[in-house]
Chains A and B, each alone.
Chain A
């Protein structure tokens, strides 16, 4: 009985060796698949990760443009779940899947190097709705190196009393850095919160020269 079950274990081990499919072959096959999925429109959202001075940024895009920028301290998996639930589960990792991703990488690098003051990227606003979307549109207009308060923002979006809602719109900004929620501060000039952490917010403002130190 013992040698019989041993035989089965040997058979199992041998079966697991059939057509091993190396890591390199798998990577190449997946790359060909994702390229086809992107070019024939079978995929709705593609993403890739990009190294920045603050850590890894996760960039997601649709054919319409950049959909979501994940900051280094966001959970990259829950970011994908969020997209799958809100927009479409047809989500694939596909570096360079759309031209807008390469453009975003380039412009972000230039921005972090202090060589770019505004972004010129196609954006897909599908991850935001209603008043929050209005607030984000207004936020996108805040110039490089300047700051406004949450109250200013609510007023500019047409609902002066909705200061808290303006804050929520910043907290749920799907496109941080490109839609510069880091330029929005508390009324007293305190930093307030930031999805990427208060340190990153201070650092971005220093980069733009709008904060001493």
Chain B
């Protein structure tokens, strides 16, 4: 049991599940499909729960959770691609966005956006994060997060009307 005084500011983990559970499930399902998506949801929450007492800033919890989720999604994509460690990291990251079941959908259009834009768009509209939380998740400034969301959204206009 962890009982260090430095953790005294953290709210119960349950509040994180209540606030972000739905967005986290959508984020994982969109990126990996139903089965692998739910696995990634489980793996993310378990990893976050284990590491939670070491989180320094309670206000950063949302962004922190989705940074973990992104790693778990990429892990899952790497596993199902059955690729060796030598495989190009960018190729694996791209594979973590392309779900053949989503071909022809709006999600397929999100997947081909520039990397920062697709991540920002997914965190804003699928994960339901604020711009500040997106900045934490992506390690950027809040202004950059806002810009990435907006630029990505502009690119998607055409795809929606089809």
Contacts and interface: CB of A to CB of B under 8 A. Distances in A.
Interface in B36-86: 37-38, 41-42, 45-46, 49-50, 52-53
Q: Which 6 A-B pairs have the closest CB atoms?
A: A15-B125, A91-B12, A89-B10, A19-B30, A19-B29, A21-B25
A88 B49 CA distance: 11
A36 B3 CA distance: 22
A84 B1 CA distance: 12
Interface of B is mostly: helix
Interface stretch (B90-98, B133-141, B150-158): B150-158
Interface in A68-91: 80-81, 83-91
Contacts of B161: 7, 10
A16 B1 contact: no
B46 A29 contact: no
B156 A11 contact: yes
Contact of B1 (A12, A20, A62, A93): A62
B12 A89 contact: yes
A113 interface: no
A124 to B, nearest CB: 10
B93 to A, nearest CB: 19
Interface in A28-61: 29-30, 32-33, 36-37, 40, 42-44, 47
B131 interface: no
A40 B30 CA distance: 28
Contacts of B104: none
B45 A33 contact: yes
A29 to B, nearest CB: 6
A15 B27 CA distance: 11
